[in-house]
Amino acid sequence: MTTLTQSDEIAAVAPGSRSRFRLPVARRSSGEELGISGQVVRGRSPGATLLLIANVHGDAIFGAEAVNTALARLDPEQLAGTVIGVPVANPVAFESGTRATGQGWNTDMNNMNRVFPGTRQGWITQKMAAVISEEIIPHIDAMIDYHCAGDTSINYTLVNSDRTPEQKRIFDFTRLMGTDFVFVHDVDPFAGTIDQYVKSLGKLSIVAEQGGNVMPEGFAALTQTRIDNFLKGLGIIDGEPELPEKQLLMRERVLIRADHGGLCYPSVGIEGLSAVVDGGTLLSRIVDAHTGDTLQEIRAPYEKSAILQTRPGFSRVNPGEYMYIIADAGSGEWVAAPSDWRMEV
């Protein structure tokens, strides 16, 4: 398999073949040639181009597994279109296992998902974002952007509004993920995300809040089924997507962080992910590692609390770390699976 080094070479990958690429970013002071790596799988027949990208945040390692597994499964002879995969969008943050770009004096410690489209003249984080924005995104019609975290487990889809015709188009695309829970922001809460940038270009995009170091049995296989749903919706592969009969659409949620550092003892483990629990249910305790005293009890905040993100097991936490994302299931709306799932690009 050849390795490509320029964006125009990505566009020139022959039908019915696959090629790796490594796009240069900068030479680091260590002498390392920093680059963004990935793969192109070009179908025998023409069609839409889907980007699978992960590890914009370096601790979201489940996404790398999802992208690599999907690429290995694809047969270019059977595709009507193209799949581009970037398992590690931020290799510096991936190396340090951090959400932001590394730690220490030799990195800028910026959140890559706040700097898109980036700039070649900026910090190292902005340079990496610029390479993706300039060399990869122009080739695509749609994107799945994987996010998760190491010590938490997460499983839902996130939509930024569904009011305008274009937002509704993206909303319908997002629902091909087939999660039981869908959360809709009325206003995009962040600026500079890769998702926001791709949408600004008129392309389809989804934020896949999926994965973690601990997930329910069979979740890795389910992830591939969900990728197939998008490939079917875009016409890249044949078949109909596997969707639930209905999904719970919610618009109210709370992000719960740790008030104190210490040891986390979950009372509701991985079995609680994508479940609805009664208000007041004890989710976990944070205990002072030095004294054994309980510093914080975290309880379900809504009368009917949908667990979108959870702490699945015993772990150490620091003040301010993500613990849970809980949505208000009681004010949610059950909506039927989309009947017209074919997406135009």
Is 172 in the same domain as 301?
Answer: no
Q: Taking all residues of the chain, what is their mean pLDDT, rounded to a whole number?
A: 93
Confirm whether 345 is domain-assigned: no
Is 196 in the same domain as 301?
Answer: no
Confirm whether 336 is domain-assigned: no
Is 223 in the same domain as 276?
Answer: no
- What is the chain's length? 345
Tell me the backbone φ, ψ of residue 37, rounded to 5 degrees: -110, 155
Is 135 in the same domain as 93?
Answer: yes
Is 19 in the same domain as 122?
Answer: yes
For residue 161, the model assigns a pLDDT of: 77
44-61 average pLDDT score: 96
Distance CA 233, CA 173 (A): 8
Distance CA 191, CA 111 (A): 11
Final residue before a domain boundary, out of 215, 244, 273: 244
Residue 246 exposure: Cα atoms within 13 Å on the Cβ side: 8
CATH number at residue 298: 2.40.50.100
Query: The domain containing residue 84 runs over which residues?
Result: 3-244
Is 66 in the same domain as 165?
Answer: yes
Task: Report whether pLDDT(103) > 80.
Answer: no
Is 64 in the same domain as 138?
Answer: yes
Is 237 in the same domain as 257?
Answer: no
Amino acid letter for position 81: G
Distance CA 340, CA 328 (A): 28
**Model pLDDT for residues 256-281, shown as the tens digit of each residue:** 999 999 999 999 989 999 999 999 99
Final residue before a domain boundary, out of 244, 263, 297: 244
pTM listed for this prediction: 0.94
Q: Which residues pair with 246 in a beta bridge?
A: 336
Is 238 in the same domain as 284?
Answer: no
Is 161 in the same domain as 267?
Answer: no
Is 227 in the same domain as 265?
Answer: no
For residue 267, the model assigns a pLDDT of: 97
Specify the number of domains making up the chain: 2
